[in-house]
Structure 1
Amino acid sequence: MQYKRASLALVALAAGSRADANDYITDKIMRVSITKAAPSQDLIQGVDAAVVIPGGASLADLKDVSYYSVISLGTPAQKFTVLVDTGSSALWVGSKACNLAGSCNDAEGFDPDASSTFVDLAVAKSFGYGSGTISGSQVQDTFTWGDYTVPKQDWVLVNNEDASAQKLQKKQVDGLVGLAYQAGQNANPNYKFPTVIESFIKNNLIQKPVFSIWLNGTSDNGGQSLFVDGGEIVFGGVDPAHYKGDIVTYKVIDPYFWGISLSAIQVGKTSLPTASGVTAIIDSGTSFIYIESNYLTTQLLPAIYSAIGISPVPATSPTYGNYQTVDCALVPSLPDVSFNFGDGKLYTLGWRDYVIPVTSTVCGLPFVPSGRNNPNEWLVGDIFLRKFFTVFDFAGPYVGFAESISSKGFQLPASVPVQTQPVLQTATTGTKSGAESVLGLSGLAVLFTSFLW
């Protein structure tokens, strides 16, 4: 694969390069649409009905916090709703027996007795995520996603979900499909698992070892909780209809995750350099942006709040899921927040891109402490991916970004009075009733962090 490179002699691991878009455009691709969930059966029906592209399937979006797709397993096929996660590698679905016993909390549950092609490899597997732990057995069966079928795909049939994982499932979804890089020589063997994208490549189902993700936002659907047209995954290339401008690529520097170097975050016109060695892990299974705690509390948040006249940084409140909040009237005065991946190019999120509705008057910020054992591993989730069309290229390996043709972003409630000039305030906390909640989800970032811990 050829790339057009500027300043190739500069720091190769950090500097971005403009890829020739023709390298990613091929005839042999498969489009999979993304959805933002509802109860599984409704989601499956809605996603199936949304397939309008020959050779395609669908993805869905739940209130801009998680993105799902429908896959099938077994012979005859059993359909399931799964979270699409570039931050882990395993495909897993809860078993029917596990759900009947109350040890799983999925929408459906796979029945191995109903599949003539099911093989239990009898290898115990357990995976811990930022939002819970699952355990089960490594198995094989026929796997189908969109138009592509793999006869003997390895996956995990789950026989136990801990309380946190069950809270995530909520009988709405069935599991997770992992799309991590994991091709590096030093990838953690405890994380590695045969991915479906690896199977697509090995079985020559796609022409190039690439997939791309375009995420849409619920604001394009009037803010409804279920957005069937939640986005699209293309395996084997890109869809030029979903981005504009150049695709700029960055070298993957992590052996397992789609991790690239992050040199600074800029708030307004003020650059806040990161420590040496910070890796931004591009993770579709994470809703928000997870940042090392000291950098977050001493640099990023003070810069954001001072731009709207608030000092010191207000304390978080359990009432609002322990996230940073701001009066919605001040939202239009919030500064741009930009990411610099080492080449000086800024990937900018305006307030419409990053503000989260909490109540009719309280708005949230998506920048939260990572809690990772490795303080240099930061997670860049869907807040960023909605703004920037993303390419995942195994051949480089690279992650590439282009400006997305996507959501209009967050819209302020009509009842909120807009205060255009910042006013110095003392940080306060408040309370909210369930009726006030716009988002309707407690502990949102915890629930939707499907990153391997």
Structure 2
Amino acid sequence: MDQTFAEATEEPGLAFVAGRFDGILGMGFTEISVMGIPTVFDTMLAQGAVDQPVFSFYLNHDMNGTLGGELVLGGSDPNHYEGEFHYVPVSVVGYWQMTAEAIKVGGVTKPFCNPCETIVDTGTSLLAGPKDEVASIMEDYGAIPLILGEYIINCTLVPDMPLTTFTLNGKDFDITGPELIIETVDETTGQHLCLVGILGLDFGPIHAWILGDPFIARWYTEFDVGNTRMGFAKSR
């Protein structure tokens, strides 16, 4: 494969220290590629290395599971989803971006999304949204703010958390309370802490919600490069 990669010789943040990974493989569109360099998947397509212009992700949040996740290049794996895919067109070619008709909490539509933009991103460990919009949802949860846009909730309240729903191309995609929670233990006190997997951020010029790992874990995600669309099916 004749593929150009970039070498990072200095990284000022803590992401690579905390994440313990060696690099980033961009799976977006060439339109946002530095210097317009073809992406790895574009190169694979050009060389006929994959059967279809599609790649798919399965993520397993069951820490006791034998398989943490699966990336399929050139198709999808029916062993990891049920039913048919529901497809949503890409709204802006660049990121894997699509328009949500609504965001609902407990079945009630939030006023800030009518409609709004979302970006599906496997490289984001949580869901993320504009700070004020996330704060509004956290009020519905009864969550408590921490520093850096994070929130915790009393662990006893998690089973009764309302559904969080993203309406995409006419279909509702729910995420339950437990599917949004990251449970940790305070090393000092031994107390169980429940971190809500939605982060409030200042996005600057990009006003969109990022649907990261909690969404993809719930909904098996197919990235259809050939048809410029995304498909979602319930993960097994």
Q: Give the alignment's TM-score, normalised by structure 1.
A: 0.48
Q: 1:199 is matched with which residue?
A: 43
> What's the CA shift string for 1:162-182, capped at 9, x where partnerless?
24345345xx33212111123
The 5-angstrom pairing of residues 286-365 of structure 1 reads 286-297=124-135, 299-305=136-142, 314=144, 316-318=145-147, 323-343=150-170, 345-359=171-185, 360-365=191-196
Q: Quick check: 2:100–2:113 contact (8 Å CA) kept in 1?
A: no
Bigger relative contact order, structure 1 or 2, given CA contacts below 8 A and separation 6+?
2
Counterpart Cα distance in 1 of 2:67 and 2:55? 19
**Cα RMSD (Å) of the superposition?**
2.1
TM-aligned CA distance change 1:303 to 1:165, over 3 Å: closer
Task: Determine if the alignment matches structure 1 residue 265 to structure 2 residue 103.
Answer: yes
User: Aligned to 1:154, what secondary structure does the other structure show?
Assistant: coil
Counterpart Cα distance in 1 of 2:208 and 2:35? 16
Unaligned runs of 5+ in 1: 1-149, 222-227, 306-312, 406-453
Per mean C-alpha deviation after superposition, the further-off stretch among 212-221 and 392-401 is 212-221
Q: 2:23 is matched with which residue?
A: 175
How many angstroms does 1:193 deviate by?
3.5
How many angstroms does 1:384 deviate by?
0.6
User: Aligned to 1:296, what secondary structure does the other structure show?
Assistant: helix
> What's the CA shift string for 1:382-437, capped at 9, x where partnerless?
011001100001122001100001xxxxxxxxxxxxxxxxxxxxxxxxxxxxxxxx
Q: 2:119 is matched with which residue?
A: 281
User: Aligned to 1:376, what secondary structure does the other structure show?
Assistant: coil
Q: 1:162 aligns with which of 12, 26, 34?
A: 12
Counterpart Cα distance in 2 of 1:250 and 1:189? 23
Q: Moved runs in structure 1, 4+ residues, more than 4 A?
A: 188-192
Q: Quick check: 1:327–1:361 contact (8 Å CA) kept in 2?
A: no
Q: Quick check: 1:292–1:375 contact (8 Å CA) kept in 2?
A: no
> What's the CA shift string for 1:158-209, capped at 9, x where partnerless?
222224345345xx33212111123xxxx34647432111111000011211
How many angstroms does 1:366 deviate by?
1.3
Q: 1:233 is matched with which residue?
A: 71
Aligned-partner residue type, residue 57 of structure 2: I
TM-aligned CA distance change 1:163 to 1:324, over 3 Å: closer
Counterpart Cα distance in 2 of 1:168 and 1:394? 31
Counterpart Cα distance in 2 of 1:202 and 1:290? 34
Percent of pairs with identical residues: 25
Aligned-partner residue type, residue 217 of structure 2: R
Aligned-partner residue type, residue 391 of structure 1: E
Q: Give the alignment's TM-score, normalised by structure 2.
A: 0.89
Aligned-partner residue type, residue 175 of structure 1: G
Larger radius of gyration: 1
User: Aligned to 1:386, what secondary structure does the other structure show?
Assistant: helix
TM-aligned CA distance change 1:191 to 1:253, over 3 Å: farther
How many angstroms does 1:273 deviate by?
4.3
Counterpart Cα distance in 1 of 2:149 and 2:133? 18
> What's the CA shift string for 1:25-62, capped at 9, x where partnerless?
xxxxxxxxxxxxxxxxxxxxxxxxxxxxxxxxxxxxxx
TM-aligned CA distance change 1:404 to 1:192, over 3 Å: farther
The 5-angstrom pairing of residues 1-12 of structure 1 reads none
User: Aligned to 1:153, what secondary structure does the other structure show?
Assistant: coil
Unaligned runs of 5+ in 2: 186-190
Q: Quick check: 2:131–2:200 contact (8 Å CA) kept in 1?
A: yes
TM-aligned CA distance change 1:285 to 1:194, over 3 Å: same
Counterpart Cα distance in 2 of 1:338 and 1:256? 25
Q: 1:34 is matched with which residue?
A: none
Aligned-partner residue type, residue 90 of structure 2: V
> How many residues align structurally?
231
Counterpart Cα distance in 2 of 1:355 and 1:178? 27
TM-aligned CA distance change 1:341 to 1:349, over 3 Å: same
